[in-house]
Amino acid sequence: MTPWLTEPFEADVVLRALVAGVIASCLCALVGCWVLLRRSVFLSEAMTHGMLPGVALAALAGFSLMAGGLTAALVMAVGVALVGRSSKLSSDTSTGLLLVGMLALGVIIVSRSQSFAVDLTGFLFGDVFAVRTHDLVVLALALILAIGAVMVGHRAFVAVTFDPRKASTLGLRPQLAIPALTALIAVAMVASFHVVGTLLVLGLLIAPPATALTWARSIPRVMALSAVIGSAAVYLGLVISWHAGTAGGATIAVVAVLIFFLSTLLSLMRTKWRRVLIVAASAGVVAGCAGGGPPSAPQTNVDNGNGNGNGNGNGDVTVEGARELDGPLTKLVLVDPATGETEVYDAVDEIGTRIGSYGPVTAISGDGRFAYLQTGQTTTVVDAGAWTFDHGDHYHYFATEPAMVDTIDLPVVDASASNTLVAIKTSSGTIDFVDREKLGEKSVAKPADLSVDDDVAVAVPYGNRVVTVSGTGQLRVVDADGTTDLIGECPQPGWSSPTRRAVVVGCGTGAVRVTGGDGDLTVTPIPFPAGAPAQGPNRMDHRDRSDVFAGVSAATVWVLDSRQRRWTLIPVPDALAANTAGDGTVLVLHRDGSLGAFDVNTAVETSRVPLFDAAVPVDKPQPVIEIDSDRAYVNNASAREVYEIDYADGLRIARTLRTGVPPGLMVESGR
């Protein structure tokens, strides 16, 4: 058996092929890991095909084939980025079009050569046994370059792969990190195509890292294990090729793919047998304890039923025409109140998409995906193109193209939504409902068999139900069985908002918190503290799904921790707007245009940063503070800017986002 494994490498040509293959495997391991993590497999494949016209032109002109291939691959990558950014086509569509175009162009160039100076078969499938010393030197230099780039750019590559926005705010320059990764992919492909050819280079670039991801979790370990797996594939592929008389490059690629499937099968078997052993052990315990009575069934407590639509019983959250993401996006709907010019600004890519102009806009509200622009006695609905689907015990994140949806023949001043329903409040105080799924289909429709009494002043979707409060303070719940009174009252109802676990409604005497999920609902009063000003806040803001709220009224910042049933009042005479992430800090925008951070427990301002060049005028739409898990956004209409604030880092201005329209009105979507 040993001679069968070692005999092929007694030939210098096979030994050189082994060395070249191992170097290429190490190179592809470093780069392929990022390809998989960034989900750029299709782009990588397109770049391999896109090399053909560059290689063909270089061969006909007598230049370096690698230089020609590298240039063409980079042109392909730049073309995909430009087409995807400037058109309404999805990235995979633009990639596919450029792939076909570049490959066809390469074939045309080859076919125009009288002598077919470019060996198309060799280019596509490679010739591992034709590796020369020069090729080994090029591969080694490419490997050294890749190692250096990965070591120097590791932190930036990780940040831009998993959170591009954070990469920007940390000063890691994603605008450079992404092109650097693309260039590394091109270098790995060009350096390796002599070994396995362009059509099969993905075998080394994708299969070993994919196999390694089954067994390793940290990026360095994935790279190291991928290099070992790729080298093993090269060795086994060469041995099989030598004895079976098959093409060397193709055999290496097939072995790499087979190792992946074998590894996946072993991983599944490992998981399956682990479960079998657990079941067997459990059965043994049950059998041994059979005389003690039957075991009790395990209880699973899932918080079903909240303002964002938990517990709807829908296991399928696939949204037609949308793509599912690994994490949430942050998009800002920006509106010029004077003209109604509307822009959806992607805070990750720093790109604004102009939606349209709808005339003077007097108010804006949002429900996490859709923005409602009050234009006179009607409302224009804008789809921000990013949203979070709350599925009870986990989230799903989706994105689609931003667009204008439709017009509602009501002046909407506030909106609250679940996954399937939107409750809207008009400027006259009436309540109506809109089917949220139909809004996703670009149409406005009222849900069937859902209505509330004429005296309802507040309505908030809560899972499969709607919590309502009448003008007299009576709380009720509306569901498929009708309307049921709740024990509790909320006199003079005002603001309202859902959290992950409850519905909170502001009252003239404080607030109430409604909890209970899909079971019986409980109303918990949260009265104002003694000595509080007579006039409470008309509006309270918070991080989406958070239980802590902040608002401004009567020279006072009001902070409500609804879970702890505690109000905190902070005297701030010039407070203009307030918001909180529920982390013990409240952000306050002062009339002079500066932003301050107050410690809720001590009521002391811990930091302050100037944002506006002058005081905020009282006769213009007032700026707001939109907040998410790690960033806050403040709009400055006169400067056409939105400030991104890292509130966990001393109110550091992470970025200044320059917008296409004056952002007099702003709501955040996607989170």
Per-residue pLDDT at 375:
93
Q: Which helix (H) or strand (E) holds 667?
A: strand 665-669
Residue type, 47: M
Asked whether the predicted pLDDT for residue 306 surpasses 80, the reply is no
Task: Count how many residues are written for the chain.
Answer: 671
What are the beta bridge partners of residue 503? 498, 514
- Mean pLDDT over 554-568 rounds to 93
Q: Are 305 and 463 in contact (CB under 8 A)?
A: yes
Strand-strand pairing, 370-375 and 566-571: unpaired
Radius of gyration of the chain (CA): 31
Q: Are 422 and 316 in contact (CB under 8 A)?
A: no
Confidence band, pLDDT 50/70/90 cuts, at residue 266 = confident
Q: Are 631 and 165 in contact (CB under 8 A)?
A: yes
Q: Considering the chain, what is the average pLDDT of its residues? A: 82
What are the beta bridge partners of residue 632? 627, 645
Per-residue pLDDT at 71:
83
Per-residue pLDDT at 294:
40
Q: Are 45 and 202 in contact (CB under 8 A)?
A: yes
Cα–Cα distance between 368 and 330 in angstroms, integer?
10
Give the range with max mean pLDDT: 211-215, 284-288, 635-639.
635-639
Angle, in degrees to the nearest 10, between helices 41-61 and 201-215: 150
Confidence band, pLDDT 50/70/90 cuts, at residue 125 = low
The neighbour count for residue 108, using CB atoms within 10 Å, is 11
Q: Are 611 and 619 in contact (CB under 8 A)?
A: no
- Mean pLDDT over 623-642 rounds to 93
Per-residue pLDDT at 85:
55
Cα–Cα distance between 172 and 425 in angstroms, integer?
44
- Mean pLDDT over 371-391 rounds to 91
What are the beta bridge partners of residue 483? 478
Confidence band, pLDDT 50/70/90 cuts, at residue 282 = very low
User: Which residue did the predictor score with more confidence, 585 or 290?
Assistant: 585
What are the beta bridge partners of residue 669? 331
Cα–Cα distance between 28 and 205 in angstroms, integer?
5
Per-residue pLDDT at 124:
58
Phi, psi at 552, each rounded to 5°: -130, 135
- Mean pLDDT over 351-368 rounds to 94
Q: What percent of the chain has pLDDT over 70?
A: 83
Confidence band, pLDDT 50/70/90 cuts, at residue 123 = low
- What distance lies between CA 280 and its chain's CA centroid? 41
- Mean pLDDT over 417-425 rounds to 90
Per-residue pLDDT at 310:
40
Phi, psi at 390, each rounded to 5°: -85, 115
Sheet with strand 566-571: strands edge to edge: 548-553, 556-561, 566-571
The neighbour count for residue 149, using CB atoms within 10 Å, is 18
Q: What percent of the chain has pLDDT over 90?
A: 38
Confidence band, pLDDT 50/70/90 cuts, at residue 192 = confident
Own/partner contacts of 505-512, CB < 8 Å, gap of 24 or more, are 505/458, 505/460, 505/467, 505/469, 505/475, 506/536, 506/537, 506/540, 507/473, 508/536, 510/536, 510/567, 511/560, 511/562, 512/475, 512/488
Per-residue pLDDT at 93:
72
Own/partner contacts of 562-569, CB < 8 Å, gap of 24 or more, are 562/499, 562/502, 562/504, 562/511, 562/513, 562/526, 563/501, 563/513, 565/513, 565/524, 565/526, 566/526, 567/510, 567/526, 567/528, 567/529, 567/532, 568/600, 568/601, 568/603, 569/529, 569/532, 569/533
**What stretches of 315-464 adopt beta strand conformation (E)?**
323-325, 331-335, 341-346, 351-357, 363-366, 370-375, 378-383, 386-390, 395-399, 403-408, 412-417, 421-426, 431-435, 456-462
Cα–Cα distance between 59 and 653 in angstroms, integer?
52
Asked whether the predicted pLDDT for residue 281 surpasses 70, the reply is no
Strand-strand pairing, 341-346 and 421-426: unpaired
Q: Are 488 and 477 in contact (CB under 8 A)?
A: no
Confidence band, pLDDT 50/70/90 cuts, at residue 560 = very high
Per-residue pLDDT at 464:
83
In the chain, the domains with their CATH numbers are: 2-265 (1.10.3470.10), 302-450 (no CATH), 469-527 (no CATH), 531-671 (2.130.10.10)
Nearest to 326 by CA among 374, 397, 265, 233: 397
Least confident of 31-45, 308-322, 393-407: 308-322
CB hemisphere CA count around 169 (13 angstroms): 22
Confidence band, pLDDT 50/70/90 cuts, at residue 167 = low
Cα maximum dimension of the chain: 95
Phi, psi at 650, each rounded to 5°: 65, 35
pLDDT tens column, 471-519? 999 999 998 788 899 999 999 999 999 888 899 999 999 999 999 877 7
* Cβ neighbours of residue 12 closer than 8 Å, sequence gap 6 or more: none
* Cβ neighbours of residue 446 closer than 8 Å, sequence gap 6 or more: 432, 433, 434, 435
Least confident of 97-101, 257-261, 505-509, 527-531: 97-101
Per-residue pLDDT at 564:
92
Q: What share of the chain is helix, strand, coil (3-state, %, to 5)?
A: 40, 30, 35
Asked whether the predicted pLDDT for residue 537 surpasses 90, the reply is yes
Per-residue pLDDT at 290:
44
- Mean pLDDT over 326-337 rounds to 89
Confidence band, pLDDT 50/70/90 cuts, at residue 311 = very low
Asked whether the predicted pLDDT for residue 432 surpasses 70, the reply is yes
Q: Are 347 and 368 in contact (CB under 8 A)?
A: no
Strand-strand pairing, 403-408 and 395-399: unpaired
User: Which residue did the predictor score with more confidence, 392 or 461?
Assistant: 461
Cα–Cα distance between 95 and 500 in angstroms, integer?
39
Per-residue pLDDT at 515:
92
Per DSSP, the three-state class of 15 is: helix
Nearest to 308 by CA among 423, 398, 389, 396: 389
Asked whether the predicted pLDDT for residue 129 surpasses 90, the reply is no
